[in-house]
Amino acid sequence: MQNYQNKVSKSEPKVTIDLSAVLVSLSDGIPKVLLIENEKGENVINHRLPFGPFNPNINRTMEESVRKWVLEQTGLRLAFVEQLYTFGDRFRGIINNDDPVIPVSVGYLALISRVTPENLLGSIWLDWYKLFPWEDWRNGQPKILDLIIKPNLMAWIQKTKGHNSRLERRYRVEVAFGFSDFGWDAERVLERYELLYETGLVAESLIDGKIPFPEEDSIYDSTGLPLYQDHRRILATALGRLRSKIRYRPVIFELMPKVFTLFELQKVVEALSGENLHKQNFRRLIETEGLVEQTEMVSEKTGGRPAKLYRFRREVIREKPSPGVRFSRKGSKILN
Amino acid sequence: MQNYQNKVSKSEPKVTIDLSAVLVSLSDGIPKVLLIENEKGENVINHRLPFGPFNPNINRTMEESVRKWVLEQTGLRLAFVEQLYTFGDRFRGIINNDDPVIPVSVGYLALISRVTPENLLGSIWLDWYKLFPWEDWRNGQPKILDLIIKPNLMAWIQKTKGHNSRLERRYRVEVAFGFSDFGWDAERVLERYELLYETGLVAESLIDGKIPFPEEDSIYDSTGLPLYQDHRRILATALGRLRSKIRYRPVIFELMPKVFTLFELQKVVEALSGENLHKQNFRRLIETEGLVEQTEMVSEKTGGRPAKLYRFRREVIREKPSPGVRFSRKGSKILN
DNA sequence: AATGTTATGCTAATAATGAGCATATCTTAA
DNA sequence: TTAAGATATGCTCATTATTAGCATAACATT
């Protein structure tokens, strides 16, 4: 049974597996991500995700290893952890030939119920939308879309010759950025980031040498903070996955305190999805889904009438095939 | 910027990345998976997925590499390919200590529009449900569930001491196998396989040394064909993913010919989901989702009234955020 | 007591879903 | 030639969800 293993392993190149973790939390309605400040250097890029190599001699599973790296680099013990994706074409073919080690990276998503002190190794909790300004529609369509992204994407479409090639680009852009019939689809975070990367609208494109020369320096000031290596791509994957997952698994409660008001819950969902929801319908949704149960307590923190406090109803997991916050996806409006 | 890379790479163990492919197709309403017959040996296990190591010096991306391995081992050129999951704890800690190479495997899913000749290297197309007999509910609840699986799982629950530990096992079993309120959830393929593995109900458990001694040999004859290494686990992941993906992306058409009748389409969906669907509602669903358009042709192959032939409406991708076959999940019945 | 603020209850219109009856159009056997 | 069998297809009705609001409740502050 070992035959295949041995046979195919002969001429192996050295491969390294990096494990990277996206830690998500919230404070004051701001969705946050844990970043670590790079050591000083001549780099433009100052931030990275917690990460480290997978060493199976030390940690039996990759998840164990992720937990270890995160603990070492941030002091945090993770609860909810989920594998995201494995990135095998890091730096898009711009591999440093001096370095015989070719890194593959496996991204993980972890949810943290509240932000922790920022300390070890210069870790900070950064507003997710500082990295993806075009993803936050809670105050209407982000200006950057019409000002910078849309015109540049349109130019990119025109730049190619050939009817089919142009059509293909147009379709990709339309679907990813919602210039099509159905409008903005919050979950397509990765598709959007990939397009911006490809069209040279994020700083990483330059650094990876994809784009020959900065056309307008100012663009990169407004298209979000660039990260080390492909970490922003991993983050985009994480945001997309989280946005879709809250709809069919009760993961949102990993981000909530033990008890909470329905409006607090709504604000968290809105912060993640980047969209505003209809308040009355949201509470009906949550209640009829059986996701929560009342406590006898009320919150004093609200301005007006005190809000009842709820807690997560764990039993819902055995009652429905895919319990989650199934709010509608009919585009973004400013409500209430 | 290279600092981190170098620093962490120092004491790397040798890691191998295997890429495995799950090729799915259909013939005569039977969902099939491509397997390769192992070379002769004293093994019990005779089949494996197409796989091979990722060598970044040869193929820039992992997907490229998967395509190459599949082409070499089966002669097939893949169209639709999607990454599934990365398995880092292969053989569950039973690592052969003579072999310093610890394999991590990245699974891929590919859809093939029709089964191909079975030839190169002894590749065969096998009925998916030969590997997962408990997953096919098209003719009612599979007998194996009540006969073998349920009693063994119940015994496994009782085997542990402590109220909490027992409750936890009970919950896992209930949710995975639908002994809970909502019944069978077709998408939880992996959860079910993992449970069977853990409880020693599939042959791989024995081979990996998880279970000390076969209690009843006959069990393993009925719990499906075991595969090389963790390939059956990869297959379970693939089936679960596919079952969920057809609901929100039009991937089902990757498995269809250019034109087809609505009933043919239904049969394919049923074959994958393992459930029977309501015929009239299915066609209403497909039509109102805008997934198909009529051709002027009709099929002669039907026994009675000739059926109109349809084709996939590609434009649907730009019209809806997540077009797919959103049939209901209200459990399985025998319909029509 | 009036005003502002947030929570919460409720409704009418519309859309989606679940289950099934009825009819249409073919082939094949009597 | 007709009856029987087999599908395909059209349509309905009851039920449940969803959307968009209006309206009221319960607090704090002025």
Span A104-141, pLDDT tens digits: 999 999 999 988 877 766 899 999 999 999 999 999 99
For A186-190, which contacts have Cβ atoms below 8 Å and span 24 or more sequence positions? A186/A135, A186/A137, A186/A243, A186/A273, A186/A274, A186/A275, A186/A329, A186/A332, A187/A240, A187/A243, A187/A244, A187/B321, A188/A240, A189/A132, A189/A135, A189/A236, A189/A237, A189/A239, A189/A240, A189/A243, A190/A233, A190/A236, A190/A237, A190/A240
* Cα B104 versus chain centre, distance: 19
pLDDT above 60 (res A210): no
User: Which whole number is the average pLDDT over B141-155?
Assistant: 95
User: Min CA distance, A328 vs chain B (Å)?
Assistant: 11
For A135, A188, B111, B281, B288, the CA distances from B291, given in Å and listed in that order, are 29, 20, 18, 14, 8
Q: Which pLDDT tens digit goes with each residue over B225-273? A: 999 889 999 999 999 999 999 999 999 999 999 999 999 999 999 999 9
Contact criterion met (CB below 8 Å) for A173 and A199: no
Give the residue, B113 or B14, on which the prediction is more confident: B113
Amino acid identity for residue B126 in this structure: L
Does A124 share its domain with A32?
yes
CATH number for the domain spanning B308: value is: 1.10.10.10
User: Min CA distance, A165 vs chain B (Å)?
Assistant: 17
For B36, half-sphere exposure in the C-beta direction (CA atoms, 13 angstrom radius) is: 23
Q: Find the length of chain B.
A: 336
Rounded distance, CA B37 to CA B24, Å?
A: 17
CATH number for the domain spanning B30: value is: 3.90.79.10
Q: Which pLDDT tens digit goes with each residue over B287-302? A: 999 999 999 999 877 6
- What does the block give as tokens for A128? 């997710």
Highest mean pLDDT among A19-23, A41-45, B36-40, B138-142: A19-23
Chain A residue with the nearest C-alpha to that of B320: A182
pLDDT above 80 (res B40): no
Q: Is the Cβ atom of B278 within 7 Å of strand C at any atom?
A: yes
Whether chain B has a CB inside 8 Å of the CB on A166: the answer is no
Rounded distance, CA B53 to CA B20, Å?
A: 9
Rounded distance, CA B109 to CA B131, Å?
A: 17
Does A80 share its domain with A187?
no
Does A69 share its domain with A126?
yes
Q: How confident is the model at residue A89 (pLDDT cuts 50, 70, 90)?
A: confident
Assigned domain for B7 exists: no
Does A125 share its domain with A187?
no
Chain A CB contacts of B11 below 8 Å? 55
Identity of the residue in B62, B83, B320 whose CB atom sits nearest the CB atom of A182: B320
Whether chain A has a CB inside 8 Å of the CB on B147: the answer is no
Q: Which of A98, A130, A162 is the last residue of a domain?
A: A130
Task: List alpha helices for chain B, DSSP H.
Answer: 3-9, 62-74, 128-131, 143-144, 150-159, 163-177, 189-198, 203-207, 217-222, 231-245, 262-273, 279-288, 316-319
Identity of the residue in A38, A52, A321 whose CB atom sits nearest the CB atom of B329: A321
* Ramachandran class of B171: left when φ > 0, alpha when ψ lies in -120 to 50, beta otherwise: alpha
Q: Which pLDDT value is given to residue A220? A: 81
Q: Which of B130, B165, B184 is the last residue of a domain?
A: B130
Does A118 share its domain with A52?
yes
DSSP state of B306: P
Report CB contact under 8 Å: B53, A228: no
Assigned domain for B297 exists: yes
Rounded distance, CA B255 to CA B242, Å?
A: 12
Tell me chain B's radius of gyration from C-alpha atoms.
22
Mean confidence (pLDDT) of chain B:
87
Assigned domain for B81 exists: yes
Q: Which pLDDT value is given to residue B101? A: 58
Rounded distance, CA B285 to CA A191, Å?
A: 28
**Sign (positive/negative) of CA torsion B178, B181, B185, B189?**
negative
For chain B, the domain total comes to 3
Quickly tell me which residue has 């599934």 as its tokens.
Answer: B84
Within 10 Å of residue A58's Cβ, how many Cβ atoms?
12
pLDDT above 60 (res A23): yes
Closest CA to A270 of A24, A93, A26, A7: A26
Contact criterion met (CB below 8 Å) for B232 and B311: no
Whether chain B has a CB inside 8 Å of the CB on A86: the answer is yes
Does A142 share its domain with A160?
yes
Give the three-state DSSP class for B230: coil
Percent of chain A whose pLDDT exceeds 90: 68
Does A167 share its domain with A214?
yes
Phi (first) and psi of residue B299, to 5 degrees? -90, 140
Strand partners, A228: none
pLDDT above 70 (res B332): no
Whether chain A has a CB inside 8 Å of the CB on B61: the answer is yes
Q: Which pLDDT value is given to residue B87? A: 93
Q: Which of B179, B206, B223 is the last residue of a domain?
A: B223
Q: Is the Cβ atom of A328 within 7 Å of strand C at any atom?
A: no
Assigned domain for A72 exists: yes
Does B293 share its domain with B261?
yes
Q: Which pLDDT value is given to residue A117? A: 79
Residues 6+ apart with CB under 8 A from B112: B23, B24, B25, B34, B76, B78, B79, B254, B255
* Cα B320 versus chain centre, distance: 27
Rounded distance, CA A60 to CA A44, Å?
A: 36
Assigned domain for B116 exists: yes
pLDDT above 70 (res B77): yes
Assigned domain for A238 exists: no
Does B21 share its domain with B91?
yes
Chain B residue with the nearest C-alpha to that of A183: B321
pLDDT above 50 (res B96): no
Rounded to 5°, the CA angle A14-B34-B47 comes to 70
What residues make up the domain containing A141?
137-223
Q: Which pLDDT tens digit goes with each residue over B167-203? A: 999 999 999 999 987 889 999 999 999 999 999 999 8
Give the three-state DSSP class for B260: strand
Does A119 share its domain with A164?
no
Rounded distance, CA A167 to CA B326, Å?
A: 28
Q: Which pLDDT value is given to residue B322? A: 92
Assigned domain for B237 exists: no
Chain A CB contacts of B62 below 8 Å? 86, 88-89, 104
pLDDT above 60 (res A331): no
Does A96 share its domain with A171?
no
Does B112 share its domain with B22?
yes
Rounded distance, CA A294 to CA B252, Å?
A: 42
Whether chain A has a CB inside 8 Å of the CB on B55: the answer is yes
Assigned domain for A324 exists: no
Chain A CB contacts of B12 below 8 Å? 14, 16, 53, 55, 101
pLDDT above 90 (res B115): no
Strand partners, B312: B292
- What does the block give as tokens for B199? 């409880």
Rounded distance, CA A33 to CA B210, Å?
A: 39
